[in-house]
């Protein structure tokens, strides 16, 4: 079950923005537009099963909620369990939809990675609409 920590959208923290900018180093359709608007993006923090603080981006056009993964990054936490970051964009319009943050095993993140330490990869086969 998804629970929102905050009921209203907010600007990203500097740390959240630095993670997003690291993911945006990889080219994909719509990336340049996201980069141009990065300072204006609004997000809600939500916790899913892993309680990692994924971000849901505010989207004005609610018709374009189908989304696909475009970039992923990973980092090995202190306890040896990887942390995954996955950026999803809307299928139409390529707007940022979600920055999903996962840590398997239902454990909390113990180390916030430096953006430069993330191993970033383009999602080659984004798959079907979600």
pLDDT tens-digit series, residues 47-103: 655 567 889 999 877 666 788 999 999 999 999 999 999 999 988 778 899 999 988
Q: Does the residue 117 lie in any domain?
A: yes
Residue 130 within a domain? no
Domain presence at residue 67:
yes
Q: Over the chain, what is the mean pLDDT?
A: 84
Which pLDDT score is estimated for 128?
47
Sign of CA dihedral 70, 115, 96, 45: positive
On whether residue 13 sits in a domain, the answer given is: yes
How far apart, in whole angstroms, are the C-alpha atoms of residue 56 and residue 80? 27
Q: Are 23 and 38 in contact (CB under 8 A)?
A: no
Q: How far is residue 35's CA from residue 15's CA, in Å, rounded to a whole number?
A: 16
The length of the chain, given as a count of residues: 130
In a domain, 64, yes or no: yes
Quick one: pLDDT at residue 13?
Answer: 95
Q: Is the pLDDT assigned to residue 2 strictly greater than 60? A: no
The tally of domains found in the chain comes to: 1
The Cα 106–Cα 120 span in angstroms is 23
| Domain assignment of residue 62, yes or no | yes
Q: What is the model's pTM?
A: 0.85
Note the pLDDT of residue 18.
97
8 A C-beta contact, residue 52 and residue 102: yes
Instruction: State the DSSP code for 112.
Output: P
Q: Is 118 part of any domain? A: yes
Q: Which residue range(s) make up the domain with 69?
A: 3-122
User: 101, 52 in Cβ contact below 8 A?
Assistant: yes
């Amino acid at each position: 079950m998804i629970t929102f920590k905050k009921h209203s959208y907010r600007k990203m923290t500097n740390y959240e923005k630095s993670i997003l900018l690291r993911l945006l180093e990889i080219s994909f359709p719509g990336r340049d537009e996201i980069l141009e608007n990065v300072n204006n993006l609004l997000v809600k923090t939500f916790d899913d099963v892993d309680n990692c603080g994924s971000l849901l981006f505010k989207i004005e056009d609610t018709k374009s909620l189908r989304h696909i993964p475009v970039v992923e990054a990973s980092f090995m936490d202190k306890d040896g369990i990887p942390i995954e970051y996955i950026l999803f964009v809307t299928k139409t319009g390529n707007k940022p939809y979600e920055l999903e943050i996962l840590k398997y095993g239902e454990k909390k993140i113990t180390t916030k990675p430096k953006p430069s330490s993330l191993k970033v990869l383009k999602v080659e086969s984004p798959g079907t609409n979600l």
